[in-house]
Amino acid sequence: MEADLTNARFLRNQADYDCYPMSLQSWEDDARALAAAAAKFLNSCENFALTNGYI
């Protein structure tokens, strides 16, 4: 999970500062991978909040 977040941060920085994406397919691949990682992260956050009585 931590590697997914690090990769997402790297891709965000790359989008901000580099000529990115090089191709539409590259962008689509990254976007699909990030969407999957985001869903896992959200699920983990929700489980943590429920387990610890935050919601």
- Our CA dihedral for 7, 11, 43, 40, rounded to 10 degrees, sits at -60
Give the tens place of pLDDT for each residue, 15-45.
Answer: 778 776 678 888 888 889 889 889 999 999 9
- Mean predicted confidence (pLDDT) in 1-17: 82
* Domain carrying residue 34: 2-51
Number of structural domains the chain divides into: 1
Rounded CA separation 39/20 (Å) = 24
Identify the pLDDT of residue 14: 80
Token output for 14: 């790359």
